[in-house]
Amino acid sequence: MMGLSDHIQEYRSDIDRKISGLERENAVFLGTINEKKRNLKELQKLVQDGKHEYKILENALDVLRMYGIIKEQVLREKIDVVVTQGLKLIFGDEYKSKLEFKISRGQAVLIPKIVSLMDGQEIETSIEDSRGGGIANVCSVLYQIIVLSLVEPKQKKIFFADEPFRNLSQEHLESAGDFLKVLSERLNIQIVLITHRKELQSIADKLYKFKNINGETEVEKIH
């Protein structure tokens, strides 16, 4: 039979084992807490670094946007000059081009408008709302030619157009043709027109007449 001292010793051993177990569990728990604290600090540092990098990228994008804005503004001014010259030559001094510059979703947007001088006041309208389809017609052709001239690489370019001035009244056709000829020479662009408007024939360096005879196309060189 176990004596009282033996029972006491057994209880002490059991308590010691439980204390050791609790100490081990506590050590593991503390280790887990410390690891999680380290992980938290690392995550916090990553977040902070991420915010810093994002700020740098945001500033870089702002610089790029500003650079794009400057380029667009320069481009806008160049286009406005050419289109305004065309409008004044064809329709008179009361018209000029204005490309309105806006930023939409971080991108530069150019909105073409027409400025008309009426009763001493300048009135801005969109090309679609300008008086008659002739102005929209002319602007459309001029914008296409100018954009083509800006395309890289710089080499001989050809602009094809089928009845480019279909909405332009007869009185303005000759002036429109003259301006096309000037653009062709200055921008080094070959312009090929398909048209029934005889008023445009005078600007052609070479003129061909196409006929449909019995389902076949016959080409006649006029000059």
Structural domain includes residue 46: no
Residue tagged 């500003």 (tokens):
66
Domain that holds residue 181: 132-223
Structural domain includes residue 209: yes
Structural domain includes residue 205: yes
Structural domain includes residue 56: no
Structural domain includes residue 169: yes
Residue 137 sits in a domain whose CATH number is 3.40.50.300
Residues in the chain: 223
Structural domain includes residue 78: no
Per-residue pLDDT tens over the stretch 42-82? 777 777 766 766 676 666 666 666 666 666 677 777 888 88
Domains in the chain, number: 1
Radius of gyration, CA atoms only, the chain: 39
Compute the distance between CA of residue 44 and CA of residue 36 in angstroms, rounded to an integer: 12
Whether the CB-CB separation of 97 and 126 falls below 8 Å is answered with no
Single-letter code of the amino acid located at 116: S
Whether the CB-CB separation of 157 and 188 falls below 8 Å is answered with yes
Structural domain includes residue 103: no
Per-residue pLDDT tens over the stretch 145-172? 888 887 766 677 888 888 888 888 888 8
Q: What pTM value is reported for the model?
A: 0.63
Structural domain includes residue 168: yes
Neighbours of 76 (CB within 10 A): 18
Residue 2 sits at φ, ψ, to 5 deg, of: -80, 135
Average pLDDT for the chain: 78
